[in-house]
Structure 1
Amino acid sequence: MKATDRTPADLLRSALSEDPARPLVTFYDDETGERVELSVATFANWVAKTANLLQGEMSAEPGERVALLLPAHWQTAVWLLACSSVGVVADVGGDPAAADHVVAGPGRFEDGLACSGERIALSLAPLGRRFPTPPAGYADYAVEVPSQGDRFAPYAPVDPEECALIVAGAAYTGAEVVEQARADAPGLDLTGPGSRILSALPYDTWDGLAAGLYAPLAAGGSVVLCRNAGLLDDDALARRIESERVTATAR
């Protein structure tokens, strides 16, 4: 990572230039049995497509607020970095009625209808499957995103001193996200390239976002993001830690 990186999107660009083939996010859902591994290059491609969807199809502008009604999931991580790329505020679990746009997953579709702007639904099903029929009032992310461009350029430069993230009632600028992620990395035993943290924390707090995305990205490491890890017994979790070459855990 470069000292000049000031936003999470900057951190991703640096990771892409340094080692695009290395793993960045490995996702498990222990309720469905899903495992997805995304290299830096694959993750960045999803981010670029999603940022193009945000900026183009959703007409999201810098400073607007996007309520992310989503759990800890690899697609949530993509949306967080896409928001940073466009310059919109990612409001994790935020009030849809106060947001300009909403992105919702299963169990939150009814809540998201309170948003008067564009609404995107994620099935969060294995392999990113489409809905048989999208929820009323929503566009299906899995239908909309594949046709988006593989490269992204914001219409206006993203200001690192503007609000970029709201979580658990606390607001952070892009620069503050990067600074806090760098500060948190050593305490999470993320010491540089090769560091690999297993996180079973939800994304509804800064600690969960730091362990599950921002700190490994800032440290040049990677994350094994586990949803529904409470279904694992200690032996199964230990086997995962060994097989995934995990160097640190956050649970």
Structure 2
Amino acid sequence: MAAVSVAAEWQLLYNRYYRKPEIYSMQWNVDLTRNRVACAPFGGPIAVIRDDAKIVQLFAESALRKLNIYNSAGLLLSSTRWDRPGGRLVGMAWTDDQILVCVVQDGTVHRFNIRGELLQQGNVSLGKECFEQNVVECVFWGNGMVCITEGFQLFCIPDFKNPNSCKLADPILEELPLCITVIEPQYTMSGNVEVLIGVNDYVLVVDEESVQQVGVGVGPLQKMAVTQNGKMLASFTHDVSLTSRTDSLVWNAQCATILG
């Protein structure tokens, strides 16, 4: 029986077996369904804040929201009252330098250190046009981010170390895309971020200067994820199938082309 139990812990992934042993139990008492959570890579800090996009029962807790930062074992490192202006919190992530980036509805980016302290000159604006349209979704990578607005426009901060925003080419959308992901600048031939947008049954590849339609017939895609080395794309389709595109994902000098 012991041998069967041990064998059951291993899962086949492609041609390798993996298992996930529990090293320790988390020390916190956090309902993840009621909160936004951002985990830093490589076992770094975890930021948690109550999700204001959800209707939740407050029980005995205060109506004032707090930004709590824990270590990877669930021990509280800092707790800060969230009183940032700019509307609803849309996106939150850690940069490679373990700076917590929080994007609010009007396109303001608030940056905090691991102690929950707002950095000096920590606020960055995505610009007047973004402010007027409101941000609805964000996608982050190591030290940058892309957001899409209610006006279906894309804005980007390529590097938070030099946080200047730019507007990408107009994808000419009539409604919000089904899904969105990015190919990081270090993995593109142009050296600029490329945004993959799932629209109808195809994908748009958008950069600062151009929009290209590729992969007609591969969708509708509900979710896409690019591997960390930028070479493979996983897609989750409307008919509930998960596909990993490896040999059918071809990179040329300008963009990623998804072949049918």
Do Structure 1 and Structure 2 share a fold, with TM-score over 0.5?
A: no
Q: Which has the larger radius of gyration?
A: 2
Which structure dedicates a bigger proportion of its chain to strand? 2
Q: Which has the higher contact order (CA 8 A, sep 6+)?
A: 1
TM-score by length of 1: 0.27
Structure with the largest fraction of helix: 1
